[in-house]
Amino acid sequence: MSDQHLQKLLNLTPSEYGEALINKAFSPQAGALKLQTHGNEQRGLRDLAIGANALFRNAVAHKTVFNPDPQHYRKR
């Protein structure tokens, strides 16, 4: 789920992004998007979205490049 998708869904501006945006969407206490389930599962969904954001979106946004060749990361 991209920042743009959540911004559009929640009618927010592009100034809302990343972890703060995900918290606005999925926070167990005040999130706009609620699961019809236990609060721990809501927290789990929020934490999963934050983790995916950190792993995938941040790498692209900050131009981090992953090289899949294991030889690339070996000490020389």
The residue ranges of every structural domain in the chain are 3-73
Give me the tens of pLDDT residue by residue for the chain, a chain 76 residues long.
Answer: 688 889 999 998 888 888 999 999 988 888 898 888 888 999 999 999 999 888 887 666 666 566 677 777 677 6
Whole-number pLDDT of residue 21: 92
24-35 core/surface letters (b: 16 or more CB in 10 A; e: else): bbbebeebebee
pTM of the model: 0.68
> Contact 41/48 with Cβ under 8 angstroms?
no
Q: What's the farthest any 2 CA atoms get from each other in the chain?
A: 53
The span from the CA of 72 to the CA of 33, in Å, is 42
